[in-house]
Chains A and B, each alone.
Chain A
Amino acid sequence: MIFTPAVLRSEWTKVRSVSSTMWTLASALLVTVALSAGLCALTNAQFDNLSQQDRLTFDAAGTSFSGMFLGQLAVIVFGVLVVAGEYSSGMIRTSLAAVPQRAAFLFSKLAVATALAFVVGMVTSFASFFLGQALLGSHRTGIGEPGVLRAVFGAGLYMTLIALFSMGVAAMLRSPLLSLGILMPFFFLISTILAAVPVAKDVARYFPDQAGQKIMQVVPSSDGSAYGPWGGLGIMCAWVAVALLGGYLVMSRRDA
């Protein structure tokens, strides 16, 4: 039995008793909602200046999640600090002395932090959606339209999976600086840039964020993707699974 109520309760105490949890998750929510709202308002004001093509493929739901490309960075910081913070502070030795079953320790920690990221992710996605739609004026869509609820729910899932992926990577690298130094530029720059380069595009669309973001789109993009919204989320889940497996192997094999 991997999850015991005792260890889960202990990990909940840990995650709620450091201020970085509050700061990172609050930033994720605020940045995503505020930036999405701003971009929606801007789009509404500039809609008539858009090209014919852009107007035809306009995705009202997707636009209201456009702030997530920045907000996800705060989620990454949250995931990294939850796991790698144990190593950088030396707390890991105290933690493992208390819970020597390393799989139980790691997965209880991930379960608690992921549950928290899920709640914040859902609040963020629904808030982003409704505020964004309100600001889109006549170009808005409704939650009852085909595919829209899936996109809103998916945006929350996307944030949750980003957190979990970061935790897996941090468990492998065991250093907050190293983990952030790899994850931040990857998600903020490299992935986005490669996705815009014609040749690299075909590879980049299988990156966790590029694949996962498909779930937030209601109007399919015209680039002829090999997978749909759930297929994309599946690809992202595979990345997360690999990161978690790596994290688990490092945790169980290496000296603390």
Chain B
Amino acid sequence: MAVVAQTIAAALAVFAIGAVLNAPRKALLLSAVIGGIVWLIFYLIKSEGQVVLGTFVAAVVTALFAQIFARIFKTPATVFLISAIYLFVPGTSIYRSVLGLISGDREQFIYYANETIMIAGAIATAVFMIDSIFIIINRFKKRKDPSHE
């Protein structure tokens, strides 16, 4: 039951943040669907205690969906990617690490700074991986402007 509630809440949250970031109307619903699915994946992996791995897998799936939808709807992948990935970005860790820094708690600072770098690295690696795969696919198709997606 909690899983279903989490999935629905994640989809709605992505819908809301999409509007805040001015995503085009037709992209909102699709981003929300992606958001719900990847949060479910993340939630299941996170319950096993693997936050970074969960973020990585979720980011891979998000980037994959974003690239596919970008090709179907002829709009940049960023439009889907940014709103759907917003739930995973290490905002909380950045906040907690800087809070540790200014309150003189070295241990907290190091722990959360490390977590921030791990999570951001996981997301960036995942997105970069999928980007590269699609660039290679485009080269094979010999399209006129592969970079335009």
Q: Do chains A and B interact in one complex? A: no
Residues of A within 8 A of B (CB): none
